[in-house]
Amino acid sequence: RAEGRAAPSAMEPECRVLSIQSHVVRGYVGNKAATFPLQVLGFEVDTVNSVQFSNHTGYAHWKGQVLNSDELHELYEGLKLNKVNRYDYVLTGYTRDTSFLAMVVDIVQELKQQNSNLVYVCDPVMGDKWNGEGSMYVPKDLLPVYRDKVVPVADIITPNQFEAELLTGRKIYTEKDALEVMDMLHAMGPETVVITSSDLQAPLGNDYLIALGSHRKTKADGTRITQRIRVESPKVDAVFVGTGDLFAAMLLAWTHKHPNNLKVACEKTVSAMQHVLQRTIKSAKAQAGEGNKPNSAQLELRMVQSKKDIENPDIIVKATVL
């Protein structure tokens, strides 16, 4: 080991994450996008693969299997029988099935009984906006399950603008609207809300994408403190898959390391994302060759190559406290 770098304390308590997400054989989405960064940042990660596909569904072809809610329950029962169902965090992403999602809620509630400090990080993946028009890419009957069952037990949620609008039934046209929507989401349960992307006009200009974060804490005497931030990050002109999964995993890690500083947690998360995306687009363009558009395989996130940036990101994106 390089001299001068302190060894990690041998007494540092183990932090264990149960991540229930999709799995791909090739590439980086779901658990494949979340596990490596979390491990690099020192977390133990136990993965349940909600699907096992050959690759993500943005390719021309994909094959694989889907885990149903009974099979999820069976895996959880196995952990429980061995008394290894104690977790510090639960992380969930893309799900297509209402009964599976309802089972996740049951598991989270049981794990919270085991450990009252458990933090549930939920990316409520439902849809997105293209050219200003929002559309859902999961069945519509997932919305009430997310709104009425999932969000109330979540501690940290990472919707995009369209998903935040769906969950609250309120449209966002201005930053003020967004802050009010985040307050509505806090009122539903979560202490931390990050709107990961929006079509709001960035003060830095059209080449930037705005993310907004809000952390609400109730002090022992009952008073509430809310910290709110805006992050503007440079747009990268390509369609990446798995970025939301990577974002949620790194936000989990950095909020754990900076529990009362959403600004720093978001700066580290978004800066690391930028490093990964810049490395990915550069590599994809080199593979595709001059003048050719990179394909899905070439645009897979350069995760392993970005290990150092994930572990210790050079802060290239700053957050503004609102």
Q: What residues are labeled active site?
A: 245
SS3 (DSSP) at 12: coil
Q: Give the DSSP letter string of 95-136.
A: ---HHHHHHHHHHHHHHHHH-TT-EEEE----EEEETTEEEE
Cα–Cα–Cα angle for 134, 199, 214, nearest 5°? 105
Residue by residue, DSSP assigns 24-90 as ESSS-STHHHHHHHHHHTT-EEEEEEEEEESS-TTSS---EEE--HHHHHHHHHHHHHTT----SEE
Instruction: Give the chain's radius of gyration (CA, Å).
Output: 19
Residue 232 has φ and ψ, to the nearest 5°, of -115, 120
**Contact assessment for residue 38 and residue 249, using Cβ atoms and an 8 Å cutoff:** yes
User: Tokens 């699907």 — which residue?
Assistant: 51
| Pairing, β 44-53 against β 16-24 | parallel
Look-up of token digits 């931390």: 192
Q: Is the dihedral of CA 53, 54, 59, 62 positive or negative?
A: negative
Q: Tell which residue, 150, 62, 61, has the closest CA to residue 105.
A: 150
Residue 248 near residue 93, CB atoms below 8 Å: yes
